[in-house]
Chains A and B, each alone.
Chain A
């Protein structure tokens, strides 16, 4: 997947997790926590969804990589090069 496709995939997961949040103005380099009402369970849900949808394993000590959209895409890109875009 390309960086743009990964971003799209993360946005899709976010919209499932936080259906009431407006994601259209999400700033890429500002943390999710500052922009959305997210707690630790929400981040766990992102981890679970990435594993379920794309078979990506993220160990607990690497959860901080999911802080913002920018850091998430940077973290996932090398790990998802072989992953096909979900139809």
Chain B
């Protein structure tokens, strides 16, 4: 396969996650030669899916596109991709504090907060406007907890309603900078939540086709071992032992892996390395995948599309990470998500600490996975009492699974905390031609954040290549 590889490219993109693919496509459209390499045997990163015997197909993270995905897909990908984004109509919350359904729009949240939670209208408007006005330049010391205290003092239930979906989407907590919350909230919880008709496999196939059309040279199941730097400039990469020249590298690998492994600390000064070491990775996740038998259905009026479910009496982010799981987000997939496919299936997601899973002996690890499946089936039976009878197949993923497939340090499923953004952005100041585009800083994470960050970095790369 490597026979047709060229000796050099303008740009090598390492990693075919959403940010890597979008950067590769945008740079290629600007007229540069691009090689995109992915270590896994398929493209997409965490925008992925898998097949299991019996005709089951599971999507990892398909439900939960923010509305901005329509515009970004139309502009940076194709109209066909943008036109396949469809709204999820039934978003539900169920916990000891409240049980409700919402369309996930500013209007509906405002109405709920005013009528049901009895919050004064000016606080509701003030909160939405404050969130909308936030930017990455705001004071980092101002936390999401303080933002909530300002507008909804003492209202744990409101915090839960407004925070739980964001924690599901990007792993952030009440202690993270309010600006990260404001930006993500304004994108995610203002104009509905969406999914992709045809499944992750169709999305990634359409993206692959567009990249090929634009001339991106795509290789998967091959790994970059090293990024070569000469006189503080990117000179090339080693790909499966073979040297390939390039003028710029966009790494869509984990930020810390990029600095300490692919480039190597000998290439950076002490102060920068210190700054990089201080970057905190976000937590990892667990998922349980459950496929129903052919012909078995779920009641959409009961399950909805997304269900934020918890048995915890109050909302605490430390509890969300515990192996004693009390909160799960269920994504329910009906045949209409994949026209032509007749199955219903459910994916339960939780946040998780890598350390809780990393060092378990094999038998305890397997028992942990079985327990994860069992407790999830128990949890779901509250909504679908005969779920076990309908079930054809189940499987669990842990932080170790995320680590194995993405090679992310710590199995991080949401990139880094806020400080990672500045480190990612400053790489080209350290080494000419070295860029990073991937989940960082909370705001550049998730479907929309990763895609737009790919474009932002592609713009920098295009400007850099024009200068030299």
Contacts and interface: CB of A to CB of B under 8 A. Distances in A.
Interface string A41-70: 100110110011001010000000000000
A55 B459 CA distance: 13
A45 B31 CA distance: 16
B223 interface: no
Nearest to A17: B75
B455 A41 contact: yes
Contacts of B31: 52
B188 to A, nearest CB: 14
Interface in B63-80: 71-72, 75
B419 interface: no
B462 A51 contact: yes
Interface in B161-181: none
Contacts of B466: 51, 55, 57
B463 interface: yes
Contacts of A51: 30, 462-463, 466
A51 B75 CA distance: 16
A57 B467 contact: yes
* Interface size band for A: 10 to 19
B309 interface: no
A48 B31 CA distance: 12
A64 B419 CA distance: 25
Contact of A47 (B71, B75, B459, B467): B459
Nearest to B463: A57
B75 A48 contact: no
A54 to B, nearest CB: 12
Contacts of B75: 17, 45
A41 B459 contact: no
B30 A41 contact: no
Interface in B431-468: 452, 455-456, 459, 462-463, 466-467
Nearest to B460: A60
A48 B456 contact: no
B45 to A, nearest CB: 21
B65 to A, nearest CB: 16
Nearest to A52: B30
A55 B71 CA distance: 25
Determine the main DSSP class of A at the interface with B: helix
Contacts of A57: 463, 466-467
A48 B72 contact: no
A1 to B, nearest CB: 19
A44 B459 contact: yes
A32 B463 CA distance: 24
Interface string A1-44: 00000000000000001000000000000000000000001001
A33 B467 CA distance: 30
Interface string B15-35: 000000000001000110000
A18 B95 CA distance: 41
Nearest to A58: B463
Contacts of A44: 455-456, 459
A17 B75 CA distance: 8
Nearest to B456: A44
B450 to A, nearest CB: 13
B30 A48 contact: yes
Nearest to B187: A39
A20 B54 CA distance: 45
B72 to A, nearest CB: 7
Contact of B72 (A41, A47, A52): A41
A25 to B, nearest CB: 22
Nearest to B452: A41
Nearest to A20: B71
Contacts of B26: 48
B462 A48 contact: yes
A13 to B, nearest CB: 12
Contacts of B462: 48, 51-52
Interface of A: 17, 41, 44-45, 47-48, 51-52, 55, 57
12 contacts: A41-B452, A41-B455, A44-B456, A44-B459, A45-B75, A47-B459, A48-B26, A48-B462, A51-B462, A52-B31, A55-B466, A57-B466
8 smallest CB-CB distances across A and B, nearest first, come from A48-B459, A41-B452, A44-B459, A52-B30, A57-B463, A51-B462, A44-B456, A57-B466
Given A17-B75, A48-B30, A52-B30, 11 more contacts: A41-B71, A41-B455, A44-B459, A47-B459, A48-B26, A48-B459, A48-B462, A51-B462, A52-B31, A52-B462, A55-B466
